[in-house]
Amino acid sequence: MSQVGAFDSALEGWQAGQILEHYYPGADLGRIPQATVAVRLVEQDDSTLDAYADAGGRVAGREFAAGQAAHLTPLPDGGANVVVTTGCDGEVLWQSATDDPWIYPHDHAPGRPATEHLTLCGGSAYRGALGVATENGEARTVNRVDVQDYLLGVVPAEVQANWADKGAVEALRAQAIAARSYALAERRYPYAQTCDTTDCQAYPGTDKEDPRTAAAVVATAGMVLLRDGRILRAEYSAAPDGGEPADIYTFAVGPTPGELGPVPVEPGPADQSAVGPLDPRTQTVVGELPIAVEYRRLGGANSSVGQPLGPEMALPQHAGTYRMFTNGVIVSTPTLGAQVVDFTRLMQLVPEPPASGAKPSNNAVPLADAIPPASAVAPGHTVAPKTASTPTPRPTSSAALPSGGPTGGEL
């Protein structure tokens, strides 16, 4: 995918699904469960890990307080030496060795406040946990983070948040899906899936987070590109001429969505993948989806409706949304609110399914049919549309990025 071409296409009225269908012909859209990604922080190579959080955190099974910093040096056996100091370079308060070479925030769940982010001494802040490993005897630093939180840092580093102000929200959404797919299909190192440089994807931690790109990340939550049921390593670039469609069979693939799952970090709140947009200026949740609220109230996966069978879908004329579960359906409309309905009632609200051309398993559906336009989604909601028009030829690029790619300047 050309990021410039995606921008121009969005200005021409293309939806995210159409952009992705053009650049990744033959790919399907799939849904993943909550998942984490491990990212090598390249600038930290051959260094100790020195980090703190304004709210304090945990290391080696012990708490460290606000105003204290934890320092980890990896050991050949996979563990680490730990030193906790006052500030980043103050008095040593305690030290130990551990077989768990990670610094944890107080709560690893997605969308945590900025005070809980781990900050490198003299460097950037990161969501999730920070840890150390070795590669050929050299120290490596790794950020293990929920993929949604990871994308909050990636998307505004790879493209510009102000595209939303220029009418190219759909390009931001396409970028979020491509970046999520790329990261989850990566398998670069024994200790980390991907890295934080443009050799992989630009990822400066929380430094560039922005509400406009956060909205694109949340609106596409869980969406990935698939090839033959496996997550596609969806390569993209800042090609200034708009780029050409890719041969997706030249790209590597990763696991199936069903093979993903959250990497255990430490006990914390349950999956929050169905929450509304985050405002990175305050790191708070703007609004939770009504169906998610009702599902949690009923008891989640342990309730009578069972496990979800797919994403939320749009009712006709944008009258509301519904989601299928193994033992029922939850519908949300302005008049009904969010409630469980039987299949007969759902069929009164939902159009007939297509008679042919339906995709088999893996939660895969045609791209252009799967992602709603931003204009059709109420704030804080993520739904899939019924239909989408067939893409016309991609428009000729009308804007070139300055040298250095999409982060080198503004369009």
pLDDT digits (tens, 9 = 90+) for 376-405: 544 334 333 222 233 333 433 333 222 233
Residue 360 has pLDDT above 90, yes or no: no
Contacts 24+ apart (CB under 8 A), 113-116: 113/55, 113/282, 113/283, 113/284, 114/54, 114/206, 114/282, 114/283, 115/53, 115/54, 115/55, 116/53, 116/54, 116/55, 116/57
pLDDT interval class at 296 (50, 70, 90):
confident
Residue 21 has pLDDT above 60, yes or no: yes
Residue 83 has pLDDT above 70, yes or no: yes
pLDDT interval class at 350 (50, 70, 90):
low
Residue percentage of the chain with pLDDT more than 90: 56
On whether the CB atoms of residues 338 and 332 are closer than 8 A, the answer is yes
pLDDT interval class at 174 (50, 70, 90):
very high
Residue 329 has pLDDT above 50, yes or no: yes
Residue 165 has pLDDT above 90, yes or no: yes
Q: By three-state DSSP, how is residue 251 classified?
A: coil
pLDDT interval class at 406 (50, 70, 90):
very low
- Give the residue among 262, 184, 205, 153 at the shortest CA–CA distance from 41: 205
At position 136, the amino acid (one-letter code) is: N
Residue 272 has pLDDT above 90, yes or no: no
- What 3 state SS string does 324-389 have? EECCEEEEEECCCEEEEECHHHHHHHCCCCCCCCCCCCCCCEEHHHCCCCHHHCCCCCCCECCCCC
What's residue 283's pLDDT?
Answer: 36
pLDDT interval class at 306 (50, 70, 90):
confident
Residue 60 has pLDDT above 90, yes or no: yes
- Mean pLDDT to the nearest integer, 226-239: 92
Helix, strand and coil in the chain, % to nearest 5: 25, 25, 50
Residue 264 has pLDDT above 80, yes or no: no
- Mean pLDDT to the nearest integer, 29-49: 93
- Mean pLDDT to the nearest integer, 247-254: 95
- The Cα 355–Cα 324 span in angstroms is 19
Torsional sign, CA 397, 401, 404, 405: negative
- Mean pLDDT to the nearest integer, 293-314: 78
Residue 95 has pLDDT above 60, yes or no: yes
Counting beta carbons within 10 angstroms of the beta carbon of residue 189, is it exposed (0 to 12), middle (13 to 18) or buried (19 or more)? middle
What's residue 364's pLDDT?
Answer: 59
pLDDT averaged over the chain? 80
Map tokens 């931001």 to a residue: 172
pLDDT interval class at 326 (50, 70, 90):
confident
Residue 147 has pLDDT above 80, yes or no: yes
- Mean pLDDT to the nearest integer, 358-371: 54
Q: Which residues pair with 278 in a beta bridge?
A: 285
pLDDT digits (tens, 9 = 90+) for 109-127: 888 999 999 999 999 999 9
Q: Which two tokens stand for residue 198?
A: 């443009």
- Mean pLDDT to the nearest integer, 192-219: 95
Q: Which two tokens stand for residue 62?
A: 């012990």
- Mean pLDDT to the nearest integer, 246-262: 88
Q: What are phi and psi of 300, to 5 degrees?
A: 65, -140
- Contacts (Cβ under 8 Å, ≥6 apart) of 304: 298, 327, 328
Residue 38 has pLDDT above 50, yes or no: yes
CB atoms within 10 A of CB 319: 15
pLDDT interval class at 167 (50, 70, 90):
very high
